Structure 1
């Protein structure tokens, strides 16, 4: 039998929903702990189309249910990026076991061009197999890029933020 959200609702807290003017990190006014979404039949397309990785993966057991783990995961960029969205009230949740070891194992695909990004509010951390690159607070409008580059004959991980903002003349 498949998984169901049950009383979880972490996506209703952690994700921003523009159609509802709901910021990231704040509970949606339509979510009720025992009853779920109060506008489920008429929920916006962003809510209707969202499926967290816990629901979608047979490899993640109940310990990974977002309300238990205190983070949720989903892919974007055609599966090339795994986002780990951490509850700001529990910023270290992703570093606890059994999570951190498995997240590091998932980051092994970085050498194949995949990205694993931990988001704690506006803070971004790119996870590589042998290091975590904390980019600090990042404007969500700016583009994050990461991967490996060759330097002195060795593959070296990189992570950076690209901004479309032109420098101001002084």
Structure 2
């Protein structure tokens, strides 16, 4: 993990993600959110514990791309954000403050970086709509 990459006051994942075990739909703030973090962090569901905010993991993503600053959350996920898709690792960029967040230079550059890397499918998600930006190596070969 890059140095100085903590969530700080960012709790965007607590709103953006669907957490079925908590009956929490995507786009609704989790009732366990304290305003500064997770109120059940030590006992949080496995799906929360396994979820990775890529801003915290990839030093090449600028400070301005922290989700609460940029309105975009990038994550590595085990399945595409579309119904009836087979489980497969992918990069997902979610606009949490509306689709216009994708127009910020930081988000444009981050999507370009993930596409250039090319090994995983890359998705853009906003308001329930998912768009495949890059199919990734495995999908492109099929």
The question of a shared fold, defined as TM-score above 0.5 by the shorter chain, is answered with: yes
> Which structure carries more relative contact order (alpha carbon 8 Å, separation 6+)?
2
CA displacement 1:116-153 (0-9 Å, x = unmatched)? 1001132012224xxxxxxxxxxxxxxxx96378xxxx
CA RMSD, 1 decimal: 2.4
Alpha-carbon distance in 1 for matches of 2:5, 2:113: 24
Residue in 2 aligned with 1:62?
63
Alpha-carbon distance in 2 for matches of 1:124, 1:64: 20
Number of residue equivalences: 129
Structure 1: 5+ residue stretches without partners: 129-144, 150-170
Structure 2: 5+ residue stretches without partners: 80-87
Please tell me whether the aligned partners of residues 54 and 76 of structure 2 are also in contact (alpha carbons under 8 angstroms): yes
* Residue 102 of structure 1, CA deviation: 3.3
Larger-Rg structure: 1
Residue in 2 aligned with 1:127?
133
Q: Which has the higher strand share?
A: 1
The aligned runs of 1:7-156 (5 Å cut-off) are 7-34=9-36, 36-77=37-78, 80-87=89-96, 89-110=97-118, 114-128=120-134, 147=140
